[in-house]
């Protein structure tokens, strides 16, 4: 029973990891919270859902959700972030909030506010590993998360593009003086972040087999907590913090009641902010945050 | 005036207080995304006082404001270590924790909500809202406000010239929390029903939105912002299903055209984007 809970928590945590990474790519490099990421996640989920029910295979659905979310992320960067780049931090954050209001309204109008259901035959297969039951989709979520985190880590750590990204994160002006195109990399950060959110959306929608336009709001705030706990400058931080929070959540629901769940998660986040502001694995420091 | 518009007007008065609570804290350069929580504390505490203990409403509001102010100051203490967006995220966490607390607080209904309050008129709401707006505008002419602005502009420099930045920042948090609590008390007695979901992240963000849209450099900006946020969706009613999308679009447009908000005194006080001096 306990092991089963751990597996379920791990799956939830994997999705948190992807979404937290999506938040932290923008946060770590530009220092702003892109609140629309939660809705990109939801839109990605719907796109994947629609493609699957239309009979397309899973990889197409994942790709569709990813590209759709990335395309919207580009629009957000061009319209909502770029012109407000030198405004106080809260201004671009609220313009991304504007996008999130629009996206949620559009999703409600297209797909309706009632939950969309996936027929049971999709990914309903269960594998028994001794005492644990692990669903086909659960397995896919876990594997996809590990692969995606590895890909992002590779891009950020090993490629020239990633080095440029980290340079901009470190000091935008100096990076520009050294010939890095900060604008192009800002766009890149948004695209990477949007793609991750889209994929995460498809995965969670198919894992739960159901989706509502309010999916993003519920999971988005948690993902921000996971980002803080993992630290915003370390890719691997999210990989540790996601499962940690996922498991903590599932365990508090199982043994403490579902009501105390949020209390535990956000309490932990505040403790981390106060005691270890650079996150579990180190990185950006919160006592050097930019001015609002 | 129809009861419908009266209730919208009351709503904007309540929102104005919420917006001012953010405005006061923002004046010291701190962004709080958790003021919905202080509003909730004020709503629950004042409702308990009037319903269970038969305390007169005005006194209940004052008690709730003082209590929330103390909680705000206590919360601000550890928050002194945090700056900018990280402080904002900590306040998000605080807000969610308080909401979660009320969800589990079965003595006052838990997730079922709490009722039994006496309904108050729109006039009473605006007596408070207008009074506190005027108080804030008077504060803006005082030396205390100059000190808050100094902390906002450059905390290190403010400290170097001998200002007590700690007291200023904690005081602003406490005052903001107290104002938010009054907003909550009025909300509870105007709606005559409260539940934890009333005081979540959406509410906190709405406060910030009212301040930024209306103009974050002058007190009356919050007034413009709250009237706009309450009445604009009403004017957009003809487009029914798409009105939130239209609202979002207008929000982005206003931010793009007037990033300092609709109202501002002059360019002197325009918040300039600067990298932290530290």
The CATH number of the domain where A95 resides is what? 1.10.3470
A28: CB partners within 8 A, 6+ apart:
A169, A232, A233, A283, A284
Distance between CA atoms of residues A205 and A150, nearest Å: 22
State the Cα–Cα distance between residues B106 and A129, nearest whole angstrom. Answer: 41
Residue A256 has pLDDT above 80, yes or no: no
Closest-CA residue of B relative to A279 is B86
DSSP conformational letter for B32:
-
ipTM of model: 0.85
What pLDDT shows up at residue B133?
A: 96
**Contact criterion met (CB < 8 Å) for B256 and A90:** no
Dist. CA B231–CA B246, nearest whole Å: 14
Closest residue in B to A172 (Cα–Cα): B275
| Nearest in space to A247 (alpha carbons), one of A50, A18, A5 | A5
Chain B residues in contact with A286 by the CB 8 A cut-off are 81-84, 86-87
Chains A, B: CB pairs < 8 Å = 169
Smallest CA–CA separation between B57 and chain A, in Å? 31
Q: In the predicted model, is pLDDT for residue A139 greater than 80?
A: yes
Whether B90 and A274 lie within 8 Å, measured CB to CB:
yes
Say what the pLDDT of residue B217 is.
84
In angstroms, the separation between the Cα of residue B126 and the nearest Cα of chain A is 27
pLDDT given for residue A166 in this prediction? 83
Q: What is the pLDDT of residue A88?
A: 83
What's the mean pLDDT when you consider all of chain A?
Answer: 85
Average pLDDT on A183-202 reads 92
Chain B CB contacts of A33 under 8 Å are 85, 88-89
| Residue ranges for chain B with pLDDT beneath 70 | 1, 265-278
The residues facing A117 across adjacent strands are A210
Q: What is the pLDDT of residue A40?
A: 95
Q: Which residues of A touch B242 (CB under 8 A)?
A: 105, 109
- Chain A residues lying within 8 Å of B96, measured CB to CB: 221, 262, 266
The boundaries of the domain holding residue A245 are 2-288
Which range (A246-250, A279-283, B125-129, B234-238) has the least confidence?
A: A279-283
Instruction: Evaluate if residue A101 carries a pLDDT over 50.
Output: yes
Determine how β-strand A132-135 pairs with β-strand A126-129. Answer: antiparallel
* Short-list A52, A68, A78, CA closest to A103: A68
Cβ-Cβ contacts under 8 Å, A224 against chain B: 89, 92
- Quick check: B205 and B33 in contact, CB under 8 A? yes
CA A128, A131, A133: angle at the middle one, nearest 5?
Answer: 40
Tally of CB atoms within 10 A around A210 = 14
pLDDT bin (cut points 50, 70, 90) of residue A107 is: very high
Q: Collapsing DSSP states into helix, strand and coil, what is residue A129? A: strand
Pick from A48-62, A64-78, A112-126, B205-219 the range whose average pLDDT is largest: A64-78
* Token code pair at residue B139: 């504060």
How many domains does chain A fold into? 1
Using an 8 Å CB-CB cutoff, list chain A residues near B274. Answer: 291
- Whether the per-residue pLDDT at A118 is higher than 50: the answer is yes
pLDDT average, residue stretch A89-101? 90
| A256 vs B191 pLDDT, higher one | B191
Return all residues near B172 (Cβ < 8 A) that are at least 6 apart: B24, B25, B27, B28, B30, B76, B148
Backbone angles phi, psi at B194, to 5 degrees: -130, 150
Closest CB from B82, B83, B255 relative to A94: B255
CB neighbourhood size of B219 (10 A): 26
Q: What is the pLDDT of residue A147?
A: 93
Q: Report the predicted TM-score, pTM, of the whole model to 2 decimal places.
A: 0.88
Q: Which residues contact B235 (CB under 8 A, 6 or more apart)?
A: none
Looking at residue B36, its pLDDT comes to: 96
pLDDT of residue A44 exceeding 90: yes
Report the pLDDT value the prediction gives residue B274, as an integer from 0 to 100: 45
Confidence at residue A282, expressed as pLDDT on a 0 to 100 scale: 63
Helices of type H across chain A? 2-30, 37-53, 58-75, 90-111, 136-158, 160-170, 172-177, 182-208, 215-230, 235-256, 261-275
* Mean pLDDT of the region A188-198: 94
Q: Is the pLDDT of residue A285 over 60?
A: no
Gap from B169 CA to chain A (nearest CA, Å): 14
pLDDT at residue B275 in the model: 44
Closest CB from A97, A263, A290 relative to B101: A263
Write out the DSSP string of B33-70: S-HHHHHHHHHHHHHHHHHHS---HHHHHHHHHHHHHH
Strand B114-115 versus strand A210-211 pairing type: unpaired
Q: What pLDDT does residue A287 have? A: 41
């Amino acid at each position: 029973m306990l092991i089963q809970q751990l597996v379920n928590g791990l799956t939830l945590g994997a999705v948190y990891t992807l979404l937290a990474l999506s938040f932290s790519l923008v946060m770590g490099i530009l220092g702003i919270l892109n609140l629309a990421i939660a809705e990109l996640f939801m839109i990605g989920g719907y796109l994947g859902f629609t493609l699957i029910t239309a009979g397309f295979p899973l990889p197409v659905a994942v790709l569709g959700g990813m590209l759709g979310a990335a395309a919207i992320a580009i629009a957000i960067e061009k319209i909502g972030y770029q012109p407000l780049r030198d405004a106080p931090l809260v201004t671009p954050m609220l313009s991304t909030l504007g996008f999130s209001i629009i996206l949620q309204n559009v999703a409600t109008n297209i797909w309706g506010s009632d939950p969309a259901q996936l027929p049971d035959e999709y990914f309903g297969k269960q594998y028994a590993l001794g005492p644990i039951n692990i669903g086909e989709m659960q397995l896919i979520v876990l594997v996809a998360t590990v692969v995606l985190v590895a890909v992002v880590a590779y891009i950020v750590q090993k490629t020239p593009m990633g080095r440029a990204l980290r340079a901009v994160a470190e000091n935008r002006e100096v990076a520009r003086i050294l010939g890095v195109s900060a604008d192009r990399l800002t766009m890149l950060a948004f695209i990477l972040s949007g793609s991750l959110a889209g994929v995460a959306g498809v995965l969670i929608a198919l894992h739960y087999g159901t989706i509502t336009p309010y999916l993003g709001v519920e999971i988005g705030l948690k993902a921000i907590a996971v980002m803080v706990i993992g630290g915003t400058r370390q890719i691997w931080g999210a990989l540790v913090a996601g499962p940690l929070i996922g498991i903590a959540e599932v365990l508090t629901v199982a043994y403490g009641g579902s009501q105390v769940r949020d209390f535990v998660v956000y309490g932990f986040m505040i403790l981390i902010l106060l005691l270890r502001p650079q996150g579990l694995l180190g990185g950006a420091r919160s006592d050097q945050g930019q001015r609002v | 005036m129809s009861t419908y518009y009266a209730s919208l007007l009351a709503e904007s008065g309540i929102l104005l207080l919420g917006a001012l609570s953010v405005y006061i804290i923002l004046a010291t350069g701190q962004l709080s995304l958790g003021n919905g929580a202080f509003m909730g504390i004020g709503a629950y505490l004042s409702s308990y006082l009037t319903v269970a203990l038969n305390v007169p409403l005005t006194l209940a509001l004052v008690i709730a404001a003082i209590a929330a102010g103390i909680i705000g100051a206590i919360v601000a203490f550890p928050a002194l270590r945090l700056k900018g967006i990280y402080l904002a995220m900590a306040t998000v966490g605080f807000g969610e924790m308080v909401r979660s607390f009320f969800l589990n607080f079965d003595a006052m209904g838990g997730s079922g909500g709490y009722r039994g309050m006496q309904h108050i008129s729109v006039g009473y709401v605006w007596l408070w809202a207008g009074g506190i707006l005027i108080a804030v505008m008077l504060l803006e002419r005082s030396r205390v406000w100059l000190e808050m602005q100094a902390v906002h502009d450059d905390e290190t420099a403010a400290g170097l010239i001998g200002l007590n930045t700690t007291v200023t920042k904690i005081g602003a948090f406490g005052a903001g929390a107290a104002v938010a609590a009054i907003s909550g008390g009025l909300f509870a007695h105007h709606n005559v029903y409260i539940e934890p979901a009333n005081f979540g992240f959406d509410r906190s963000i709405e406060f910030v939105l009212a301040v930024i849209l209306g103009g974050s450099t002058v007190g009356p900006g919050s007034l413009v912002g709250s009237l706009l946020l309450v009445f604009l969706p009403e004017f957009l009613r003809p487009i029914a299903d798409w009105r939130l999308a239209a609202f979002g679009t207008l929000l982005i447009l206003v931010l793009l055209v007037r990033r300092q908000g609709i109202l501002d005194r002059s360019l002197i006080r325009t918040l300039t984007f600067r990298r932290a001096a530290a």
